[in-house]
Chain A
Amino acid sequence: MLLARFLGPRVWILIAALLLAAVLVPMANLYLSPSHPLHVPSYMVPLLGKYVCYALLALALDLVWGYVGILSLGHGAFFALGGYAMGMYLMRQIGARGVYGNPELPDFMVFLNWKELPWYWYGFDQFWFAAIMVMLVPGLLGFVFGYFAFRSRVTGVYLSIITQAMTYALLLAFFRNDMGFGGNNGLTDFKDILGFPIQADSTRAGLFAASCIALAIAVLIVGWITRSKLGKLMVAVRDAESRTRFIGWRPEYVKLFAFTVSAVMAGIAGALYVPQVGIINPGEFAPVNSIEIVVWAAVGGRGTLLGPVIGALLVNYGKTYFTAVAPEFWLFFLGGLFVFVTLLLPRGIIGTIDYGWETWRSRRRASREEKGESDDGEGQPLASPAE
């Protein structure tokens, strides 16, 4: 249908692959015997799930960076906030099974001699409430932060630096015990989610499938946004902000919309991530994490739908591989990747492929300069990785 032409075949292949993975990986894990060559070992399911969450996070960043030109160095904060919201739900699910056996208070509160649950923990025993908070808290932070920043026309590196300061401030805040989020240790020792034991293979398979589906939906939504007139406006804001202003648009609202949507997506990614890794702690707020997200999107190709997903999968697979084989070389590799991508591959993998394809096609068109055959644009060619 119309949407099919709209997004181009590659995006549909990606979505189909995600949905297929959502079915096949759990089946290969649960129903194939361990000796079977296609068996997916149990440790690998949450690992893959983690990658998918990262891909979702990278896609969220790509929406603001690739399409609107806002380089956020604080997206880790939205991810972590979503994760904390989910973590709080999971903590409440532990109930009396904690070390101290307090039915009401999480262990760390008992340990700190707290007598009652802080008000902001109310409601987190309900999944629906937590689910709303997963989106509301990062979305609200993104909205408020973005409202002030964009309204006062803070742009470029200044914006990047204050987003970094934002996540740094949250990092410091969440390290404090009296914040009521478990301080240094964060939230962990989860028991079950929606009544399913969190360690069980089947639950993990379910979480993996949920992550894949969430990513597929996110790709669709981002695709829809970026292919709409608003998406064109976003790119226009990225390339020539003052021009949009002088034809009557308010770029601050365009940015605010993208930033808020992106924050919500990052929050969802965090919420899916936490039950799969079993812990959320303040380390997720570290500025380094947020910058790493940027490199995922950069490697894959910002300003594309496929790029950030592929970049996140590749880089994180690389990270797993390196930290197992030669941990001390991982940072060398990552650092080198930053330099390599910015210097030699500024469009990223997908962007470079698109660009090559685009130039080849226009050359071909120029060579047979006959009737202007109408072309159906697929994949957004990134004319200039403008900044």
Chain B
Amino acid sequence: MAEADVTNRKPQDEVQALFEPQGVREEQTPRTDAEGHGERRPAAAPASPESAPPQAEAALAPIEEPVVSPHPYATKLREQRLAKEASGHARRDTLLYLDGVNKSFDGFKAINKLSLVVARGEMRAIIGPNGAGKTTMMDIITGKTRPDSGEVFFNGDVDLTHHDEAAIASMGIGRKFQKPTVFESHTVEDNIRLSLAGPRSVLEALFHRKDQAERDRIDAILETTRLTEKRKLLAASLSHGQKQWLEIGMLLAQDPELLLVDEPVAGMTDAETEETARLLREIARTRSVVVVEHDMSFVRELGVKVTCLHEGSVLAEGPLDQVSADPKVIEVYLGR
């Protein structure tokens, strides 16, 4: 499916390239791509419309739209709109679209020209050594951190950089933290209840009444996460692995389109790890999932496409065997 997008995108891609702000485009380095599926873009970007009007004209020609007015400002606006539309086409079919994202903390580049595309219904594993920028990437997607530059789009055309955590969560992006965070002084059931998709207003919560539909949803999620037995227990009394599942259950309750799962099996027993892999595969049948994980056997068990991050950008992408055979990946993991 992802492959199909790429081929579809090609023509518009060039148009888009013309109208993108110069800086962003030029920073784009052609990505090393084992599978050869990433976007290949002209290495030297054409200049902006102002400095190269004839080219712009030529590119605009195929799109039939009357030029409203020769006024430079109107022309510029129109070009911007067209460019926006064009880039929208490019990512229309993606669920998560990161392009040229940069973020640095006090001079340290945590994310460096990161580009990543996740298609609808795809499950993706992200690996990478410590400090590769995995958690910062999650922070950027979920609105906790604002990138210095670059594009982050959800569902094709929702610019995530303009929204905060709560808004992004409500759009359908769920996030599980590295360290399991559940509401320890609430019961398992209440944890799920608080996470259930629905209105998020304070007054609604004050006058909220439990109903059968809600109970059914909770039952179903508890069943999926194997926590039915524990529903009346305080979350604080759960084991580490059970807390991880509860957190995944809370994500499911949100009914998200995209789940970001940060190291779901850290500190789990082998049996629990296996169970978690099964759980994630089950979830991935209906939703997109991005899993950040160190545990290679777990990633193997997931059996999905793998992206390896290093120093804030993508080092390699493809099936696990291919990625792990990549000399650059080996170098990064084993040292030089």
Contacts and interface: CB of A to CB of B under 8 A. Distances in A.
| A and B associate | yes
A257 B234 CA distance: 26
Nearest to A372: B232
Contacts of B206: 225, 228-230, 257
A232 B254 CA distance: 17
Contacts of B200: 248-250
Nearest to B165: A245
A146 interface: no
Interface residues of B, number: 37
Q: Which of A230, A382, A384, A386 has the most chain B CB within a 10 Å cutoff?
A: A230
Contacts of B234: 381, 383
Contacts, number: 95
Contacts of B186: 232, 235-236
A233 B164 CA distance: 19
Contact of A246 (B169, B208, B229): B169
B202 A248 contact: no
Interface in A131-166: none
Q: Which of B165, B232, B234 has the most chain A CB within a 10 Å cutoff?
A: B165
Interface in A221-246: 225, 228-230, 232-233, 235-236, 239-240, 242-246
A229 B183 contact: no
Contacts of B205: 228-230, 233, 254
A374 interface: yes
A362 B164 CA distance: 41
Interface in A88-147: none
Q: Which of A249, A362, A372 has the most chain B CB within a 10 Å cutoff?
A: A249
B184 A229 contact: no
A249 B236 contact: no
A195 B201 CA distance: 44
Contact of B208 (A228, A362, A374): A228
B183 A239 contact: yes
Contact of A245 (B169, B174, B193, B229): B169
Main DSSP-derived SS at the B contact region: mixed
A370 interface: no
Interface in B261-306: none
Given A228-B207, A246-B142, A374-B232, A382 B185 contact: yes
A374 B187 CA distance: 13
B126 interface: no
Interface size class, chain A: 20 to 34
A229 B194 contact: yes
A7 to B, nearest CB: 16
A31 interface: no
Contacts of B320: none
A253 interface: yes
Interface in A244-287: 244-250, 253-254, 257
A229 B181 contact: no
A93 to B, nearest CB: 37
Contacts of B177: 243, 246
Contacts of A254: 202, 205
A375 interface: yes
A233 B194 contact: yes
B123 interface: no
Contacts of B201: 253
B190 interface: yes
B250 interface: yes
A248 B232 contact: no
A236 B183 CA distance: 5
Contacts of B175: 246
Contacts of A229: 193-194, 205-206, 208
A383 B169 contact: no
A249 B190 contact: no
A378 to B, nearest CB: 14
13 contacts: A225-B206, A228-B205, A229-B194, A230-B205, A232-B183, A232-B194, A236-B183, A236-B194, A239-B184, A239-B185, A242-B144, A242-B181, A243-B182
Given A230-B205, A257-B206, 11 more contacts: A232-B186, A239-B184, A242-B165, A243-B177, A245-B165, A245-B169, A247-B254, A248-B166, A248-B200, A374-B232, A381-B234
7 closest cross-chain pairs (CB), A and B:
A383-B185, A248-B169, A230-B205, A229-B208, A230-B206, A248-B170, A245-B165
